[in-house]
Amino acid sequence: MALLYTALALSLLLYLAECDYVIPKPQYEEILVPRYGNATLPCHFTFIENTYDLGMSWHREDIVEEIEVEDIQAYIQQTYEYKEPQLVYSFHKDKEDHSEQSFAYYDRVRVDVNEIPDGDLTLFIRNVDYQDEGLYTCKAISPHGKGEVKLKLIIQEEEEPPVKFDTVDNATVCRCVSKGWYKIPIVRWLNRREDDISENSTTEVLEQTQDGSQRVSSTLSGVKSHEIYRCLIRDVKKARRARTIYRKLKKGALREYGEF
Full DSSP string of 116-147? GGGTB--EEESS--GGG-EEEEEEEEETTEEE
Per-residue pLDDT of the chain (260 residues; tens, 9 = 90+): 554 444 444 454 444 444 444 444 566 899 998 888 899 999 999 999 889 999 999 999 987 666 665 566 655 555 556 567 899 999 998 999 999 999 999 999 999 999 999 999 999 999 898 889 999 999 999 999 999 999 999 988 889 999 999 999 899 999 999 988 888 999 999 999 999 999 999 999 999 988 888 999 999 999 998 999 999 999 887 666 665 555 555 665 555 555 54
Which domains does the chain possess? 8-18+26-156+242-257 (2.60.40.10), 158-235 (2.60.40.10)
Predicted structure pTM score? 0.67
Distance of CA 135 to the CA centre of its chain: 8
List the Cα angle 63/65/69 in 5-degree steps: 160
Q: With left for phi above 0 and alpha for psi between -120 and 50, is residue 83 left, alpha or beta?
A: beta
Torsion, CA 242, CA 246, CA 252, CA 253, rounded to 10: 110
Per-residue pLDDT at 179 = 87
